[in-house]
Amino acid sequence: MSRTRIRETTDAALQSPPVPDWAGCTDEQLLQMRICDLKLKIPGTELESRIENFYRELDEKQTAFKPVCYLGDEWFCPEGASTIAIPFYLAHPRLKRLEEHMMMEVEGGTEAWCMRLLRHEMGHVLNHAYLLEKEPPWQKLFGPPSLDYSESFRARPYSKRFVRHLDGWYAQSHPEEDFAETVAIWLTPGLDWRRQYRGWKALEKLEYVDELMKRLAGKPPLVVSREKISEASRLRSRLEVYYKRRRRLYAQEFPDFFDSDLRRLFADSPTAPAAERAATFLRRSRKPILDAVSVWTGEPKFTVNRLLRALTERCAELDLRVRPDSSGLEITAYLATLASHYRLTGKFKKS
C-alpha cells in the first residue's frame, strides 16, 4: 500500500468515531447499561452537522448569541439557562433503534424534526438570556408567564391566534411555548411567514418577534448561564430505569371501555359469524391508525398505542366482528376523540 493510501486510510479512521462495544448488544443487554457508561459525545455524529446548520441559521438571522447544545435525557432548555439539551439517544443509530422500540417513535430523529425542535428551544434560550418575558409588550401579546404548565390544555385547532410549528398545537399550551413556537417560525429558512399568516392574529406576534430580533442584533445577552441539567455523562440510571420512568409518564389509567361504543363500531359474532374478528382487524391496521391519531391529536404514540391495545383486547373478549361496511375511519375517529378528551381533561374518560 502506498504512503498516500496509508495516509488517506489513517485520516478516514481519525474522522470516523470508533464503534462502541455496546453497539452490537441486544436490547436486553443495552437496557442494563448506565447512561453515563455509554460515553456519548456530539462530535462525529449526525447531530454535529445539524447543530452546525442551526448555528448557520442563527447567523443568517444576525442572531449573534449561540446556545451551547449538549446531550441530556430529553429535549429542553433548563430554566433560566442559555443551553439546549438534546436527548442522548440521538447520538447513535443503535440508541435510536432502542428508543423506537421502547417508545414507538424517536422525537427529533429526522433532520427536519431535529431542526424544528432546535428552533423551538432557541425561543426559550432568547427568553432567558434577554429576560424578554418581563417586558410589558411580551406579556400583552403572549400572556402572563406565571401561568401554571399543564399536560392537558384546551387546544383550539382552528385558532388563528397561534402559529403552528410543533404537533399538537403546542403554541397554545403556555405563553412561554407560544413565544418559543413563534420564534421557531421566524427562524425557519425560506418560510414566508408574512404570506402564510396573513390575516391571522398570530401575525402580530411574528412581527413583534421580527422587530425584537432586529433590536437585539449584536447585543450581548443580559444573562448567560451555561448550566447543563441532566447531562448524559452524569446520568447514572440504567436505561431500563430510564425507560420505565418515561413509559410510566406516558401511561394512563384507562377506563373500562364502553362496550356500547364498541358494539356500535363492530358487530356481535352471532349476527356476523363469518366476518373478520375486530381484534384481528385492529392488529392488522394498528400502524396507520396509530400514526393518524398521534398526528392529529398530538398525543405520544406510546400513549395512543396503549389505548388501542386495550380496545383490541376488549374487542377480543367480546368476540366482536367487523361489519361489511366498516373501515378504519370510524375507529380512528373514536380513538382520536378519546385522545382529544385526554388532551382537554387529563383523563381518557367520558364527561
Residues 65-94 have pLDDT tens digits of 899 999 999 999 999 899 999 999 999 999
The whole-model pTM stands at: 0.79
Residues 72 and 6: their CA atoms lie apart, in Å, by: 38
Q: Give me the residues paired with residue 72 across strands.
A: 87
Closest CA to 30 of 111, 93, 113, 122: 93
Give the Cα-Cα-Cα angle 230, 233, 239 (nearest 5 degrees): 80
Q: Which residue, 136, 137, 121, is CA-closest to 79?
A: 121
Distance between CA atoms of residues 96 and 319, nearest Å: 38
Q: What local confidence, expressed as pLDDT, does residue 140 receive?
A: 96
d(CA 123, CA 120): 5
SS3 34: strand
Confidence (pLDDT) at 7: 42
Residue with cell 391571522: 200
Q: At what angle do helices 301-318 and 239-250 cross, to 10 degrees?
A: 70
Q: Which residues lie across from 268 on neighbouring strands?
A: 320
What is the pLDDT at residue 342? 66
Q: What is the pLDDT of residue 171?
A: 93
Q: Give the C-alpha separation, 118 to 47, whole Å.
A: 11
Which residue blocks in the chain are alpha helix, DSSP H? 3-15, 27-31, 46-60, 93-103, 111-130, 136-142, 175-187, 193-196, 202-216, 239-250, 259-265, 278-284, 286-297, 301-318, 328-345
Quickly count: other Cβ atoms within 10 Å of residue 179's Cβ. 26
Residue 6's pLDDT is what? 37
Per-residue pLDDT, 15 = 52
Please give the pLDDT value at position 347.
Answer: 59
Beta strand 83-87 with 267-268 is unpaired
Q: Identify the pLDDT of residue 241.
A: 96
In the chain, the amino acid numbered 13 is A
The pLDDT of residue 142 is 97
- pLDDT beneath 50: ranges in the chain: 1-14, 351
Distance CA 149, CA 145 (A): 10
Domain spans of the chain?
A: 22-234, 251-345
Within 8 A by CB and 6+ apart from 317, the residues are none
- pLDDT the model gives residue 231: 97
